[in-house]
Amino acid sequence: MKINLKLLGTFLAVADNGSFRKAAEQQHLSLPAVSMQVKQLEERLGVALFQRTTRRVELTREGEQLVIAARKAMAEIDGALVQLQQTAQVQQGQLAFACVPSVASSRLPALLVDFARQYPGIAVRVRELALPDLLEAVRRREVDFGIGPQQERKGELEFAPIFVDEYVALVPPRSPAAAKPTITLRELAKLPLLALSGGSQFHHQLADVLKAQGLSPDLNYEFTHVSTLVAMAEAGLGVGVLPGVAVPPGTPLKTLRITRPVMNRTIAVITIRGHKLSPAAARFVALCDALIPPR
């Protein structure tokens, strides 16, 4: 049985006012239109909903039953519409995304604080994941999107670039290498290097470039966490090689651009192809320009 909301709304207006005329005024309808809508509802239900006299309109027993059910249904619909409107206006809702550690540790904190200040009604869940796990979380729709390096093989994923992240060398300020703003890869290969562990995309890219240049540096020191690598470099163990975005602010180490060749990666917002972001996710992505490192 198909009964539209318009008929139920008119029925409730008559029931609340105890009058077809007052219901017509409230609904901005003509009196015949109200009478016809109530008649249609009664015919579809097969019962009388009102007892009509020349002086008053009263609900029948069946009408009273319908009033209870209709008010409950209309209240639920109104509540759902309010929630949808608040979601569209980013007043409430949920947001889940994943981010690679190098970006999460350096650029994400300030962005999350800014988003929470602007949209306090949004519950945010963040997962810090290595790239393979991040891509899998996006594919499985466990998160709305990911933030990480763009891949050559895209498949079902879409990558919206945010910024290009150059790789840099971190050297102690007293090191002879710190006298220049740049360092070539060949010069870098002669120094004891500190790099991220072999499971990272950064490590694979660095190893491939070194091999292509015919270089075989000492890569005995590998670390899982950026903070550990930086601490080792600050202690004087060697020269750290990192994505530029991962360099922590306030470190006493000198940051040098790596040249000949320049190495970089593109950080992007990663989604399922054709997937439309929720209003909350779209607002967060719009703020991601704040991730761009200062020049």
Reported as a single tens digit per residue, the pLDDT across 200-209 is 677 778 888 8
Q: Does 142 score more than 90 pLDDT?
A: yes
What pTM, to 2 d.p., does this model score? 0.68
**Domains present along the chain, CATH in parentheses:** 5-88 (1.10.10.10), 93-163+269-291 (3.40.190.10), 165-265 (3.40.190.10)
Distance CA 171, CA 255 (A): 7
Closest CA to 38 of 19, 53, 61: 19
Question: Is the CB of residue 223 less than 8 Å from the CB of residue 197?
Answer: yes
At residue 92, φ and ψ (nearest 5 deg) are: -155, 165
Given the structure tokens 């719009």, which residue do they identify? 286
* Structure-token pair, residue 117: 């200040």
Instruction: State the average pLDDT over residues 29-33.
Output: 91
Instruction: State the average pLDDT over residues 33-61.
Output: 86
Q: Does 158 score more than 90 pLDDT?
A: yes
Tell me what pLDDT residue 151 has: 87
Q: How confident is the model at residue 107 (pLDDT cuts 50, 70, 90)?
A: confident
Q: Does 115 score more than 80 pLDDT?
A: yes
In one-letter notation, the amino acid at residue 159 is F
* Structure-token pair, residue 21: 């005329």
Distance CA 227, CA 91 (A): 36
**Mean model confidence pLDDT for the chain:** 86
Question: Is the CB of residue 233 less than 8 Å from the CB of residue 239?
Answer: yes
The angle subtended at Cα 171 by Cα 170 and Cα 176, nearest 5°, is 150
Percent of the chain having pLDDT more than 70?
A: 93
Closest CA to 221 of 257, 193, 256, 191: 193
Tell me what pLDDT residue 293 has: 64
